[in-house]
Chains A and B, each alone.
Chain A
Amino acid sequence: MSNADTGIGASVKRREDLRFITGEGTYTDDLNQPGQTYAAFVRSPYARARIDAIDVSDALNVDGVIMILTGADMAADGLGDLPCGWMVKQKDGSDMVTAPHPPLATELVNYVGEPYALVIADSRHAARQGAEAVMTDFHELNPVVNLASAAQSEQIHAGIPDNRAYDWELGDKPATEAALAGAAHITRLDLINNRLIPNAMEPRAALGVYEKGTGDYTLYTTSQNPHLERLVLSAFVQVAPEHKLRVVAPDVGGGFGSKIFVYAEETAVIWAAAKVGRPVKWVADRSESFLADAHGRDHVTHVELGLDQSGRFVGLKVQTTANLGAYLSLFGSAVPTYLYGTLLAGQYRTPNIYVEVQGVYTNTSPVDAYRGAGRPEATYVLERVVETAARELGRDPADLRRMNMIQPGDFPYQTPVALVYDIGDYEASLDRALEAIDYQGFPARRIASKDQGKRRGIGFACYIEACGLAPSQLAIQLGAGVGLYESGEIRLNPTGNATVFTGSHSHGQGHETTFAQIVSDKLGIPFDDVEVVHGDTGRVEFGLGTYGSRSLAVGGSALMMAGDKIIAKGRRIAAHLMQASVDDVSFEDGKFLLAASNQSVTIQEVAFAAYVPTSYPEDLEPGLSEKAFYDPKNFTYPAGTHIAEVEIDEATGEVDLVALVAVDDFGEIINPMIVEGQVHGGLAQGVGQALLEHGIYDEQGQLVTGSLMDYCMPRADNLPDFIVDTTITPCTHNPLGAKGCGEAGAIGSTAAVMNAVTDALGVKDLSMPATSEKVWRILKGE
């Protein structure tokens, strides 16, 4: 049977949808346990304060309150700090300076919303009332909130001068400075990359269960990577040994990075379950999500791009201060360094690049990976400065980019910032995007807008990203605390259907469909006969979860390898069944074929024989189940062009995004429908950053944008229909030829939109988000 409708390349409708559209999904908050209790966290109302005393007596008297646990209790139980998983080396070769991060604060609180105690009660309501009744004596300290002046402010953490976690660099400084000194033109730009708050629609949640009889712990939680969660909780925090802890991430309602990290709350919940002797459940209010989910972005950057007479880029120098928040979150250190500086070559042949990044602590929520993680920030810097250079030189922005692009014949291409791009065709995406937006017609559209009292602008972003973080050894050399491979296992059952286990995790990406397509295609088993299991350390051997657009390129590749092993073993069984030599048996479309004969056996027959070995090779183990760990040889490099067109109402300053085109090269595509959906979602987040979203703290470190009333999320009427398309150069080093598509939308679109807005307004820069108020002030000449 051919799998044309369900195999690789088919837009198969998602099987997970059936449960979601009927209300039958199972998210963490939908799970309940007999005898369960509820936790509420007691959080700091101050951005920086010393805890002098905690009085829980009133709280303990609240009806229904069972127990109150503080940071001191946790420390007394010997629980460790929440670790940062990536050690960044400083310019002088020394290690970055990590501030201790106890899951529950003990003596000092360092951001508004930092938890320092939890109340366990019979009901959610009682837990909350109890939390409100906890009386704490705080001694307020001066908070450090402003990123630009953080280094000159009071020291937040003992032993960390200048509030600096690290001073990092990449590239050749003297060569870059010399190139800039000799440049015919230098474009300079000061940019702010605004803080974002992820806001996955499902708030974080945890349900901890402790079995007294066996000492087993089970943690149900909203995680993008349950195995990593288990590893951190056992190896670092030491809540329970790894083999006694099962972490289950059931249906998870979006993550965008924010559910990668191991947080205080689930740590406290699983610990408390053993202390109370009953299951403990916690579900964040949206207000808690705003305060206590890791935020994203938040950079201040100065950039200089040097060009020669003809417009060729000769040097790029970037100086960035990155806000890390009050503590280093799990990957907070890596995002503004290895995931940022390494991307600054973009799609261009710039021969000299130097970047330095100061990572600083402030009294704000920790900052970590949010969709794109470092790559949108790099793209923003590069594509804003390139567009500005084109304007300063009176060049067409598409042409200037084109003449600097790395050409198809240049691959593999070693950039001056460590990466080796394997393949791409950047002009192909640029051309397709120019066509899609009708670039030729833009001048006429601009005039037509002007006639209606509106200003029209167009903006480009030609981005590149590095996905499928790899290879493990290199990453570990660069400071990663874990390997970056992925596991996959295919179990053929005796009746011939397959159960597939992957260590990557789906929280909206549709793995249950795409991974089934891959295995169905690879083994010639009907799509409906392949079940995909993920998100449970009790069922899946190991895995690193989902982040960095890695699932397909890394996790999918592991399944391809496991499939190869199934076929290899199957050939031996089939050869035996057909009384032939293994060398004469080949595999195609679910059948083992004997050369020069019309004999064949199906993979289902082989599976049956493997479990009921009546006639079976003597030296072969029964069973047909294979697993593989795939460790990527290199990053993958999705790239593309995003073009935005905006129209600004002169009277109101309102920015109307009239068109947004995204043409991306993701390599080979398994399910085009799902890929388009991923792009759409990323574009909305990228546009959100440019036009609507901004996480703002006031001088006292209070989060001003702490609810969905104050933090402006993109809604349906803020966005247009998107125009998306793909070009394909297959990744050269993984078995699927796939590169990853989860983040691209959010990487290119932000710069494209801001380039369009500044084009329309005729200004050099405007800080994001370009709200109507800001735009209106510019139009008024303020």
Chain B
Amino acid sequence: MKVSLTVNGSKHKVDVPSNTLLVDILRDHLGLTGTHVGCDTSQCGACTVHLNGSSVKSCTILAGQAEGVHVTTIEGIGSVTDLHPMQAAFRDRHALQCGFCTPGMIMSAIDLVNTSKGLDNRAVREGLEGNICRCTGYHNIVAAVLQAAEVMQGSSDE
């Protein structure tokens, strides 16, 4: 089937079998390999992207559901020379080790901060429950999200 979607601001048309998952469209057809696949049961969150502004696990979206959507992936939120506050905080607080869960974790965290007020340690832990990290023990991830939340919410209040 033919699917048109907007990814990181650019329009794309792909022709894929109807059982293709959004994550495969991103990785295999658009070359956006920052979005990872860590499981086959929608449990790990490594594939998290933003779909029309909210975080979703891109391994749960079929090609047909991707028609006309706006997707933002890790490649679309910042770059090495212009990091998103969440990316900067992850580096600053050493919130990643192998980096495999990181893109999904960052995308979930941005959505969490965007949709919550007065985040604290517990709320961040509960909010990131859908993303598994095997390396960091989450301690520094929580610290990074709280740090980024200050920056992000501070700037959005202006």
- A interface residues (Cβ-Cβ under 8 A, vs B): 13-14, 16-27, 29-30, 125, 199-203, 251-254, 256, 283, 285-287, 507-510, 673-674, 676-678, 680-685, 707-709, 713-717, 719, 721-722, 745
Contacts and interface: CB of A to CB of B under 8 A. Distances in A.
Contacts of A19: 80, 99
A709 B98 contact: no
B158 interface: no
Given A709-B43, A715-B132, A680 B139 contact: yes
**Most B C-beta atoms less than 10 A away, residue of A251, A673, A717:** A717
Contacts of B131: 715-716
Contacts of A682: 137
Given A13-B92, A18-B91, A201-B132, A23 B75 contact: yes
Given A25-B99, A716-B142, A201 B41 contact: no
Interface in B117-158: 121-122, 124-126, 128-129, 131-142
9 residue pairs, one from A and one from B, having the closest CB atoms: A23-B34, A20-B99, A253-B100, A684-B137, A508-B98, A508-B97, A23-B74, A680-B137, A708-B43
A91 to B, nearest CB: 38
A681 B135 contact: yes
Contact of A286 (B41, B91, B99): B41
Nearest to B143: A721
B44 interface: yes
25 contacts: A13-B91, A19-B99, A20-B96, A20-B98, A20-B99, A21-B103, A22-B87, A24-B80, A25-B100, A27-B100, A201-B134, A252-B98, A254-B100, A286-B39, A286-B41, A674-B94, A677-B135, A680-B138, A680-B139, A684-B137, A684-B138, A707-B39, A714-B137, A715-B128, A717-B125
Interface of B: 17, 27, 32-41, 43-44, 46, 73-75, 78-80, 83, 87, 90-92, 94, 96-103, 106, 121-122, 124-126, 128-129, 131-142
Given A680-B139, A707-B41, A201 B100 contact: yes
A254 B135 contact: yes
A508 B103 CA distance: 15
B98 A22 contact: no
A202 B39 CA distance: 9
A681 B78 CA distance: 27
Given A21-B102, A201-B132, A717-B129, A510 B97 contact: yes
Given A254-B134, A510-B97, 10 more contacts: A13-B92, A22-B87, A253-B100, A286-B44, A680-B139, A684-B136, A684-B138, A707-B40, A719-B125, A745-B137
A23 B17 CA distance: 26
A510 B95 CA distance: 12
A258 to B, nearest CB: 10
A252 to B, nearest CB: 7
**Most A C-beta atoms less than 10 A away, residue of B36, B39, B75:** B39
A27 B126 CA distance: 29
A206 to B, nearest CB: 16
B137 A20 contact: no
A447 to B, nearest CB: 25
B66 to A, nearest CB: 18
A509 B94 CA distance: 11
Contacts of B126: 716-717
A140 to B, nearest CB: 27
A507 B40 contact: no
B32 to A, nearest CB: 7
A251 B33 CA distance: 13
A719 B134 CA distance: 13
A680 B41 contact: no
Contacts of A20: 96, 98-99, 102-103
Given A17-B91, A286-B38, A680-B139, A201 B133 contact: yes
Nearest to B74: A23
B47 to A, nearest CB: 11
Nearest to A284: B40
B137 A681 contact: yes
A662 to B, nearest CB: 11
A436 to B, nearest CB: 15
A713 B101 CA distance: 14
Contacts of B34: 22-25
A24 B32 CA distance: 9
Contacts of B38: 201-203, 286
Given A202-B36, A202-B100, A722-B139, A716 B128 contact: yes
A211 B67 CA distance: 41
A17 B99 contact: yes
A508 B135 contact: yes
B80 A200 contact: no
Given A716-B128, A721-B139, A677 B97 contact: yes
B121 A721 contact: yes
A19 B41 CA distance: 27
Contacts of A507: 98
A716 B125 contact: yes
Contacts of B27: 29-30
Contacts of A17: 90-91, 96, 99
Given A21-B91, A721-B142, A709 B41 contact: yes
A521 B33 CA distance: 35
A683 B96 contact: no
Contact of B75 (A13, A22, A254, A707): A22
Nearest to B79: A22
Contacts of B103: 20-21, 23
**Most A C-beta atoms less than 10 A away, residue of B87, B96, B126, B135:** B135
